Amino acid sequence: MTDITQNDAIAAETGGSLLSRIAAYKVGPVPLPLYLAIASVVFGASVIGKLPADMIGGFAAIMVLGFLLGEIGGRIPYLKSIGGSAILCLFVPSAMLGYQVMNPATSDAIKAVMKTSNFLYLYIACLVTGSMLGMNRKVLIQGFLKMFVPLAVGTFGAVLAGGLVGMAFGYEFKHTFFFIVMPIVAGGIGEGILPLSLAYADILGTAQPELIASLIPAALIGNVVAIISSGVLKRIGEKKPQYSGNGLLVRTGDDNELLQEMAVEKKIELPLMGAGLLMACTMFILGAFLSPFTGIPGPILMIIGAALLKVSALIPERMETGAHQMYKFMTTNMTFPLLVGLGTLYVPWNDLIAAFTPAYFAICAATVLAMVSSGWFVGKLLKMYEVEAAIVTCCHSGLGGTGDVAILSASNRMGLMPFAQISTRIGGAAMVVLAVFLLKILG
């Protein structure tokens, strides 16, 4: 996603003057002198209020910040080993907005591309469709069949661990369960916390805005722990390769052949990429179209539709290639910029800092780590790769699609997006229903 390795090689090999070495250095894919010129134009336009509050200005803002923060996060010692690029891209813009360093023109442009133009869902549609259609059929089928067991065990472990740690710090188990653990595993803000708060308000007779404010910090802190955990899991996989599938979820018996197949890069064909983009948009629209008739969330139907297309081999292989190449383009170029947009809009810095007490953090951390460790050990029993099984389970503690992108980015496992979405959305919806049902009984 950045040219960090390439820059290291440049630093080691490039001779000549200091000026020539600077000119050869890159920020993301852009040579440093050109990047500085582009950043100056974008920043200058924002200062004088001339940065367009639309897709043009929005993409320029998030790409300038994303390339820079991704580069920095990938070079800081220790931080780079635990997903530093994703962490900086998500939280630095949030802090900039919280401390009023980001000017209004920049935040308006980012809001336009992220909310008005719905870039997050375009990104997820490209990832889900492209990764599924580019995935081996055997891996796809076995992955879906096996992933629900570590997800269920991990959720139970998270509830138990969070509740016990809460009691150790003097919290009532009931309060910890409903107001700290549930927001973490509810599937994000839009799909989890908002319906939770609405139901809680109806049952408890409390104002919904007050409940939202009390639920969001747990989800944010849980997501931070999940991102760091994902980065640590990546590092474990690098140090102990026997635990890592390098993006494969299930041990199939012919893993070497599958990894070789994944490593083969087919020639980029621009018309096929256009077809891949159309496929991704169509699958998202199909999910939204069928959702009112089935009662199933649109993103889940998108995943099911893409899986059925792959398993049934109904579309030509070249169209599968196009969708996969579009997926590669998005993950390579747009992951860090997307995280900048998500951090700006969906990570309220002041709420995050206000909730950061040792006891509260310990409960959130225990909840997420219990889920991660459960995914690891249950995945091992089910002949899944421990690193990938733990990461997919970890996504259940993310901020919906926002958290999935950040968590998978920290481990460089974006190909696991379909499984992560299932973990987040189905797991989250199930927990929302369970929480509301139990609160009605317990009052």
Q: What is the pLDDT of residue 158?
A: 93
Q: By the 8 A CB rule, do 131 and 372 touch?
A: no
Spatial distance between the Cα atoms of 114 and 120, rounded to a whole number of angstroms: 6
Q: What is the mean pLDDT of residues 388-393?
A: 92
Q: How far apart are CA 328 and CA 344, in angstroms?
A: 24
Q: Using pLDDT thresholds of 50, 70 and 90, give the confidence band for residue 80.
A: confident
- The DSSP H or E segment spanning 150 is helix 148-168
- Compute the average pLDDT of residues 326-345: 88
Nearest Cα to Cα of residue 382 among 148, 159, 161, 185: 148
Contact indicator for 120, 402 with CB cutoff of 8 Å: yes
Across residues 392-398, what is the average pLDDT? 86
The DSSP call for residue 316 is -
> Lowest-pLDDT range, 158-167, 264-273, 320-329?
264-273
Quick check: 300 pLDDT over 80? Answer: no
pLDDT of 97-119, one tens digit each? 999 999 999 999 999 999 888 89
Q: What is the pLDDT of residues 177-188, one digit of tens each?
A: 999 999 999 887
How many Å is the Cα radius of gyration of the chain?
A: 22
Question: What's the mean pLDDT in 89-94?
Answer: 89
pLDDT digit string (tens) for 42-63? 999 999 999 999 999 999 999 9
**For residue 366, what pLDDT band results from cuts at 50, 70 and 90?**
very high
Q: In this structure, are residues 173 and 409 in contact, taking their beta carbons and an 8 Å threshold?
A: no
Q: Are 86 and 337 in contact (CB under 8 A)?
A: no
Residue 78: pLDDT band (50, 70, 90) is: confident
| Burial of 44 from C-beta contacts in 10 A (0-12 / 13-18 / 19+) | exposed
Q: Say if residues 173 and 163 touch (Cβ distance below 8 Å).
A: yes
In this predicted structure, which of 74-83, 304-313, 338-347 has the lowest mean pLDDT? 74-83
Q: Which of 15-24, 153-162, 391-400 has the lowest mean pLDDT?
A: 15-24
Asked if the model's pLDDT at residue 212 lies above 80, the reply is: no
CB 417 within 8 A of CB 127: yes
Q: What percent of the chain has pLDDT over 70?
A: 90
Q: Does residue 147 or residue 183 have the better pLDDT?
A: 183
**For 261-295, how does the pLDDT look when each residue is reduced to its tens digit (9 = 90+)?**
544 566 778 888 999 999 999 999 998 899 899 88
Burial class (CB in 10 A: 0-12, 13-18, 19+), 25: middle
Average pLDDT, the chain: 84
Q: Model pTM greater than 0.85? A: no
Would you say 157 and 331 are in contact if contact means Cβ atoms under 8 Å apart?
A: no
